Structure 1
Amino acid sequence: MDQPLLEGGAMSPRRLFRVLLGLCVGLCLALATQLAAAAAPDGFIIDQGWSFRLLPESAQAAAHPEAAPWLPATVPGTVHTDLFANKLVPDPYMGAPEAGLQWIGLADWEYRTRFDAPRAALSSARSDLVFEGLDTFAEVWLNGEKLLESDNAFRTWRVKVEGRLRAHGNELRIVLRSPIAKLLPRVQAMPHKLAGNYPSPYGDEPKEAMTGNFARKPGYHYGWDWGPRYVTTGIWKRVVLQSWDALRIGDLQLRQDRVDAARADLVAVASLDAVRAGTFSLRLWQTAPGGKRSLAAQQRVILRAGANRVELPVRVAHPQRWFPNGYGAQPLYRYELDVGEGERILARTGARTGLRKVELRRDPDARGRSFYFVVNGIPIFAKGANSIPFDMFQPRVSKAQLRRVLQSAADANMNMLRSWGGGYYESEDFFDLADELGLMVWQDFMFGGGMQPAYDAAFRANVVLEARDQVRRLRNHPSIVLWCGNNEEEIAWKYWGHGKTMKAADAAFADRVWQGYVQLFGADLRQVVAEEGGGIAYWASSPGDDLLDVANTPAGGDMHYWEVWGNPAHPVTKYLEITPRFMSEYGLQAWPVQRTVDAFAARGEQGVATPVIEAHQKFMAGKGNERLMKYVKEEFGEPGDFADFIYLSQAMQAEGIELAALHHRASRPFTMGSLYWQLNDVWPGASWSSIDWFGRWKALHFHARRFYAPVAVAALRDAAGKTTVSLVNDRTRAVQGELRLRIMRLDGTLLRDERKPVALAPLSAAQAALYADADLLGQADPASTVAVFELRTKGEPLSRKVVYFKAAKDIAWPAAALEARLSRAGDGYALALRAEQFARAVWVDFGDIDAVLSDNALTLLPGERVSLRVRSPASLADLRRALRLRSLENVITGRAKTTAAFTKTR
């Protein structure tokens, strides 16, 4: 206890110390708060007290009176998620509610809130209301005064509000119009309609007059072949009130003019909005990857009232350079800019980047032109996948969700993601994670398909402003290595009949449409990237050859290949006949794991043709499950039940994509990229993804970690029975190792065993052998014999590829006799597996228990033992009870599907 006051009111030394300490802390906190308020880039975020309703005069109001009252809303958010939160609609993902929810996209909605203005907003010289994302046709009112009409979900809208704010009770009201109802009269009035993407099966808009490609909003909202049709609307990003007296920092670009091992020459380009002319001081602080902070540049400048642009040169000696995953570390530098007047800091902002040099190489050769990326002088073989939106309703995507999927991509040895153009420009969280994980990003502008009305100058001007917003927002991220104009619009016009049909109907209008396309994607967006992108390359369309006459060609540019899976649905061995410069799309479907299917469909609702399952199968170029069954049957035969169908679809997908990806890698340096379709899911359902909506890995993702390994063997057997063996090395150093070939029967009888030393040059792929079936089999039975190729190298995981001589359904499978032992190991568990005889596509499952395995989708040789790590909150006893093992021979032969023999834990 403190001593009492001394005589005369004096304090004890101990209490005096505490009071003085408290005053110091209070003053420091007050000063810090003042500085933070002056520097805060966010301002006052208006995210509380929102409500919404169906607009009374909306055409849908009479049919849906339940949505007429004012109801609580979440901002950022969407109308679909607000309706669901208020229990007015069912969960849009569970069961098959899609048809009954199409009225939402036809309705007009109203949002409102009240807020008290911060004192700074009332006293400052300038205040802006900033709408970071309004989806899409919005009318904004403040205190009864109309501020804004927006028409682009991808733009930031900024409105001056000084003099319009009250101290208390400001009313902000936003009316959001149905994009379908807004655009349909205009589209229907066109004598010749532009080709759209996927027509609605629900009658909410006519199939011959699709509106999606006229709206600057996420295209996938209108439905895609991996997700539902929910044409949502909403205030999908933050609403912020920003106030300032002297100036505002609009942007800080960290332009990298030169980066090499010796030095990095940067220019910090500050965009400043000054209320008045004056002399100001700029100080740029650098925090190096190790945490050391230093003054990188300073400058006194005279600013004029209005917009100003100031450049501060920065030199970094011996920079720690940023490398893609697998090629080095990802050190990141942080820069903070202070703008002051005298000793007073008026504004502050910061940005983070990685120092690297990125080039897109287009070198001519005898067969066309190359297409590959060079980072810090290293030619990179791009390994990865296409990413799509992470949810139908973007505001509920969490950073934890993004981290789980992007970490999974890096864990699978990926170094590139193509952020596809039919969704939205991803969040800062997405790009921050890509920076940290070394995942290069090929960034599409948001044009996913169908022809755009780019002949309309106002439409193009709107897109250019969108592009400037987004390039400026994202350009400091070292992960971005390419900006691409659109997805598949050029080939749709040239090869899918869109252009031919339009020319036949109205040749003059067709020419106008194409010239508008060339202007937007060949000139306007290219200019934006040249002016704003800091030296990153631009590409007009994917697939394409940057507007050359022929697109989607192996000779140059990038390719999408869909003749496997898509029409005409060739066998997967057709992948071996297509050797592109850069394969940016190809894919095979599969269902997610049983637990994910169980989340939206009861077991009694599960079947190849049941309504709920068909509602979550969105392949629109045919009957999705029929197409999937075709590929399953070709290799594995008829599934016994829906659970078998799930399992076999994953095995087919994994083995087919592995064949293609290894062919691409073995074709280096002619081929320099392999990005399969697709990484993730937008909801739980059948799709081409390797990671489902819950973040669970399909068999494909486990395979991807192996076929994308830096050092790998590719033993690829084609339809004619010819096996080409290639050795691939993505390391920047030479690798020595041993290549082993074993010919064995499925019971383990060894017929041949050969080993030879091999040397792999840096950054290379080289053919090691070529075999006809007879060269490998001799007189052995192709139905009971396999060829096992293994590459062992120091410091790298074993790479194995098994060659089969018959389709799996025609192989004489012996009983694998799988054994398993689960025991505690550290803070997790160890699962020891053994196969008495050959076991293909072994899948380990724990049912409804949360469990993460270090590996899965395995092929075990006769007598082989493997040990897997298991992380789970469940007990050992519960895990043992839930453990199920499934292998291909179980499913094809109909033998027991749950073989599991355990040895007690010591």
Structure 2
Amino acid sequence: MARWTSSADTVRAVEAWELATTGPGAAAAPSDLPLDLRWLPAAVPGTAAAALADAGAWSFERPQGLHDKDVWYRARLEGQGPETLRFEGLATTAEVWLDDRRILLSDNMFLAHEVDVELSGEHVLAIAFRAIADRVAAVRPRGRWRAPMIAGDGLRRMRTTLLGHMPGWCPPVDVVGPWRPVTRIRGGGVRIREVGLRAEALDDQGGRLRVRVDLEPSAAAPTLAALCCAGAEAPLRETAPGRLEGELNLADVDRWFPNGYGPQPLYPVGIRLGEAALDLGRVGFRSIEVDRGTDGKGFALVVNGRKVFCRGACWTPLDVVSLNAAPEECRQALEQVRDAGFTMLRVSGTTVYETDLFYALCDELGILVWQDAMLANLDHPADDPAFVSSLVAEARHFLSRNQSSPSLAVFCGGSEAAQQAAMLGAPPDCWSGPITREVLPAVVAQLRPDLAYVENSPFGGPLPFAADEGVTHYYGVGAYRRPLEDTRRAGVRFASECLAFANVPEAATLRRLLPGPVGDPLWKRRAPRDSGAAWDFEDVRDHYVALLYGVDPVALRASDPERYLDLSRAAVAEVMEATFAEWRRPGSPTAGGLVWFLRDLWPGAGWGLVDAAGRPKSAFSALRRAFRPVQLAATDEGVNGLALHLLNDTPRPVEALLSFACLREGAVPVARAERAVALSPRSALTLSSAELLGGFFDVTYAYRFGPPSHDVCVAALRDARSGAVLAEAFHFPLGRGDARQALGLSARLDRDGEGWSLVVSTDRFAQSVHVVDDAYWPEDNWFHLAPGHEKRVRLRPAPGASASPLGRVEALNGLASCPYEAEP
């Protein structure tokens, strides 16, 4: 159910909520509650855990269990006459009472409800969230398989989030309460039951809007009604009692493209119903198709006829305790990924559907959304009509409230259910079922036929998680500790999850939020792990530290923990860049990679590319470089030399100068070349090092006819007019190593109208250069720096920072750091 209100309606939040807890079933109705019950202030929308945290009664280290209690909320209402109470989301089993009259039962946290009431003065609105611990723990009726990562097989029959029920990687948060807004609506205009809106991109570059308005049975159709968009309008006609329909063809509308591939024009849409106006938000016109490839086994999104490489991450709630981040925090987080070149975010079936603001901002910023149904891992009961009916209503509600969103691109039947069944030995006929094969695609076909539908994530091939067919969760490089070459060997078509590591936050975050030593019990409790595994994702990261730098990470952690952390940060950055260089090269079968996941759920070395405070980690900085719309990447082709891949995803031509050099001891060029290149819009080009050098040179040290002549290769793509660096790529024919030497690294602060910048230079090649500053965040970090050129790094003040920049610049292969400080 999507709520549509006209300009004549009055909508306001129910305010001044209080919260109290009792034993399960202690009070059947509000009048049964003890008079001496302790009530606490509670924010709505929000959760009981968040209210208790505000009162000092809940924390990550001292969580209070809530699923074994009844949680009561109450607020006072005052008014006269008819109103509609709207509940956007109640987690999980809830009874709503007006005074001592029960007016609503809800057992699906993802559904909205409306109740018409008659007010006559002062009233008490109460919500009882009933204990669900016994239902969560229930083992009968048993599913066809168990999901080891989820604590409670009874969850397979419940419509609630898995957040808080996955002890291997999620904080112990019991999600209970009115987690979405509670509002009161006093009607003043035409009563509307439902609106259907569809925006279509036409082959001739125009657009078409179709709208259907269903009025409440008691409402009379207005004499004059019209659909309005982009300066044009079309009449709405009554096609059946209480139903208005209309169509508006628009010749002068532009196509909506993902970030980096083109602009994101949005057009306001409204309906006039007599004297009232109905705001339907903004629409974008775009088409989406799925390209399966010549062999029919691939998966690539084609937007407006252009194949898009979907690069991004899996989204997690910005506040896992309240499930409601401030609007400005949501915007900042999405602008952060937009600026980093992301084209897609996936909302996983292990989490929650996001707010309307989230999808509206993705529309605005050009971020495609892969949306899972909130189904994951478990054997959900397709034979239970009540469960299926509730799930259908949930899917309809989500798609209705996002029916005009151009960013919504994929709707998926859920996460890892097919994979879980296959990995636990269930037969192939268990891998798929009527819910994801028939029920959900039918809802999508009716409400959003423009979306790509995926049955499950992962899905396709002889096994649901086969990397070289359909969509996969790729952890060959990562959890399975495969060599970096596996990113090509696996033949990944589309990775809807990939590259999970325990990513170490920057030093400033560790000092503030996790000050204990590496390896202490708190640190290890926050390290993500697969439930029941004898290893965690710090062990995975350590494997690549040893692989890339030739050190013993366990011994290094004990002898030099700061060096260990720096190598840990550098290693995941290197792996991220190398993986996407492989996947984005021309000729690669890969059409997308979404890293698991974007932001930590709590402070620690979690999977997040961004820490729990919102500060980018080394992996995020690496992906910012790997995701550039205009990109230069290098791959080692062995005896065929080094391949340089030039990519231009943008709708504009690029005239550039490509330079290439092989350096001995990080300073002396032993081979070099330069070439002018022209990249047409949305094109790619691969050049070999032999083509550039015009003859034989053992760039990759594959032939080994003698001692190595160089230790690093440096390639740069510069704008032909301004000389600005568009992208860089580096290659280490002898490996990266752990050696340190004097580099001649220098840094100076510069200030202009946009703020502070660091200008960094070096006399010798500097590896994994990083900025350490408590108050400022560098826009680029953990980057390599060639000698002879200055690199300008913009500094952004951290939230709440008032001090001037003060810190140091270091390189992984340097002996000394370079301090900087703003002059008083």
If the length of structure 1 is used for normalisation, what is the TM-score? 0.81
CA distance 1:876–1:382, change in 2 (3 Å): closer
What percent of counterpart residues are identical? 28
Q: Equivalents in 2 of 1:642, 1:178: separation in Å?
A: 45
Deviation at 1:716, TM superposition (A): 1.8
Deviations 1:346-390 (A, max 9, x none): x63432111222222335x2x333322222222222222221222
Query: Do structure 1's residue 330 and structure 2's residue 264 form an aligned pair?
Result: yes
Aligned amino acid, residue 77 of structure 1: G
Query: Do structure 1's residue 299 and structure 2's residue 236 form an aligned pair?
Result: yes
Question: Which residue is 1:315 aligned to?
Answer: 249
Contact 1:573 1:718 in 2 (8 A): no
Instruction: Choose the corresponding residue for 1:552, options 465, 480, 485.
Output: 465
- For residues 867-906 of structure 1, what are the structure 2 equivalents within 5 Å? 867-872=792-797, 879=804, 882-890=806-814, 895-896=815-816, 898-900=817-819
Question: Which residue is 1:205 aligned to?
Answer: none
Question: Which residue is 1:842 aligned to?
Answer: 769
Question: Which residue is 1:698 aligned to?
Answer: 617
- Larger Rg, first or second structure (1 or 2): 1
Deviation at 1:474, TM superposition (A): 0.9
Question: Which residue is 1:132 aligned to?
Answer: 88
Contact 1:372 1:379 in 2 (8 A): yes
Question: Which residue is 1:866 aligned to?
Answer: 791
Deviations 1:683-711 (A, max 9, x none): 22222322222221112222222222223
Question: Which residue is 2:733 aligned to?
Answer: 805
Describe the SS at the equivalent of 2:485.
helix
Question: Which residue is 2:755 aligned to?
Answer: 828
Deviation at 1:216, TM superposition (A): 1.3
Aligned amino acid, residue 573 of structure 1: E
Instruction: Choose the corresponding residue for 1:598, options 507, 511, 514.
Output: 511
Question: Which residue is 2:693 aligned to?
Answer: none
Question: Which residue is 1:731 aligned to?
Answer: 650
Deviation at 1:730, TM superposition (A): 2.0
Question: Which residue is 2:30 aligned to?
Answer: none
Q: Name whichever of 354-363 and 74-83 sits farther off.
A: 354-363
Q: Equivalents in 2 of 1:542, 1:876: separation in Å?
A: 41
Question: Which residue is 2:226 aligned to?
Answer: 283
Describe the SS at the equivalent of 1:409.
helix
Deviation at 1:550, TM superposition (A): 4.1
Question: Which residue is 1:610 aligned to?
Answer: 520
- Size of the aligned set, in residue pairs, is 796
Query: Do structure 1's residue 244 and structure 2's residue 187 form an aligned pair?
Result: yes
Q: Equivalents in 1 of 2:585, 2:216: separation in Å?
A: 53
Contact 2:369 2:408 in 1 (8 A): yes
Q: Equivalents in 2 of 1:876, 1:461: separation in Å?
A: 50
Instruction: Choose the corresponding residue for 2:777, options 845, 852, 858.
Output: 852
Q: Equivalents in 2 of 1:85, 1:875: separation in Å?
A: 20
Deviations 1:764-823 (A, max 9, x none): 44442278994544667559611222333547743221111233335x542223212124
CA distance 1:720–1:677, change in 2 (3 Å): farther
Instruction: Choose the corresponding residue for 1:575, options 487, 511, 515.
Output: 487
Aligned amino acid, residue 230 of structure 1: V
Instruction: Choose the corresponding residue for 2:74, options 96, 107, 112.
Output: 112
Deviation at 1:489, TM superposition (A): 1.3
Question: Which residue is 1:196 aligned to?
Answer: 147
Deviations 1:436-482 (A, max 9, x none): 11111111111232332223222111101100000101121111111
Query: Do structure 1's residue 70 and structure 2's residue 21 form an aligned pair?
Result: no
Query: Do structure 1's residue 465 and structure 2's residue 418 form an aligned pair?
Result: no
- Gaps in structure 1 of 5+ consecutive residues: 1-35, 201-208, 289-293, 504-510
Q: Equivalents in 1 of 2:802, 2:357: separation in Å?
A: 39
Instruction: Choose the corresponding residue for 2:134, options 152, 173, 181.
Output: 181
Contact 2:584 2:590 in 1 (8 A): yes
Question: Which residue is 2:437 aligned to?
Answer: 522
CA distance 1:257–1:635, change in 2 (3 Å): closer
Contact 1:573 1:719 in 2 (8 A): no
Deviation at 1:175, TM superposition (A): 1.0
Query: Do structure 1's residue 499 and structure 2's residue 426 form an aligned pair?
Result: yes
Question: Which residue is 1:656 aligned to?
Answer: 575
Deviation at 1:720, TM superposition (A): 9.5
Q: Name whichever of 632-641 and 188-197 sits farther off.
A: 188-197
CA distance 1:784–1:213, change in 2 (3 Å): farther
CA distance 1:302–1:736, change in 2 (3 Å): closer
Aligned amino acid, residue 297 of structure 1: A
Query: Do structure 1's residue 484 and structure 2's residue 395 form an aligned pair?
Result: no
Contact 2:10 2:187 in 1 (8 A): no
Deviation at 1:718, TM superposition (A): 7.1
Contact 1:195 1:498 in 2 (8 A): no
Query: More helix by proportion, 1 or 2?
Result: 1
Contact 2:86 2:184 in 1 (8 A): yes
Query: Do structure 1's residue 45 and structure 2's residue 13 form an aligned pair?
Result: yes
Deviations 1:159-198 (A, max 9, x none): 232xxx33222121111123323343xx333356642352
Deviation at 1:901, TM superposition (A): 6.8
- Gaps in structure 2 of 5+ consecutive residues: 28-33, 691-695
Q: Equivalents in 2 of 1:823, 1:436: separation in Å?
A: 32
Describe the SS at the equivalent of 1:81.
helix
Aligned amino acid, residue 75 of structure 1: V
Contact 2:23 2:68 in 1 (8 A): no
Q: Equivalents in 2 of 1:826, 1:409: separation in Å?
A: 24
Contact 2:662 2:699 in 1 (8 A): no
Describe the SS at the equivalent of 2:613.
coil
CA distance 1:827–1:768, change in 2 (3 Å): closer
Deviation at 1:262, TM superposition (A): 4.2
Deviation at 1:853, TM superposition (A): 2.5
Aligned amino acid, residue 649 of structure 1: S
Deviations 1:409-440 (A, max 9, x none): 11112222222221111111111111111111
Coordinate RMSD, CA, aligned = 3.2
Aligned amino acid, residue 863 of structure 1: G
Q: Equivalents in 1 of 2:189, 2:798: separation in Å?
A: 55
Question: Which residue is 1:206 aligned to?
Answer: none
- For residues 328-367 of structure 1, what are the structure 2 equivalents within 5 Å? 328-340=262-274, 344-345=275-276, 348-363=278-293, 365=294, 367=295
Question: Which residue is 2:714 aligned to?
Answer: 788
Contact 1:846 1:879 in 2 (8 A): no
CA distance 1:267–1:875, change in 2 (3 Å): closer
Describe the SS at the equivalent of 1:572.
coil
Q: Name whichever of 642-651 and 460-469 sits farther off.
A: 642-651
CA distance 1:116–1:446, change in 2 (3 Å): same
CA distance 1:83–1:542, change in 2 (3 Å): same
Q: Equivalents in 1 of 2:672, 2:543: separation in Å?
A: 36
Q: Equivalents in 2 of 1:585, 1:191: separation in Å?
A: 29
Describe the SS at the equivalent of 1:169.
strand
If the length of structure 2 is used for normalisation, what is the TM-score? 0.89
Q: Equivalents in 1 of 2:715, 2:451: separation in Å?
A: 41
Contact 2:135 2:155 in 1 (8 A): no
Question: Which residue is 1:204 aligned to?
Answer: none
CA distance 1:523–1:250, change in 2 (3 Å): same
Deviation at 1:682, TM superposition (A): 2.2
Query: Do structure 1's residue 372 and structure 2's residue 300 form an aligned pair?
Result: yes
Describe the SS at the equivalent of 2:106.
strand
Contact 1:387 1:420 in 2 (8 A): yes
Contact 1:702 1:855 in 2 (8 A): yes
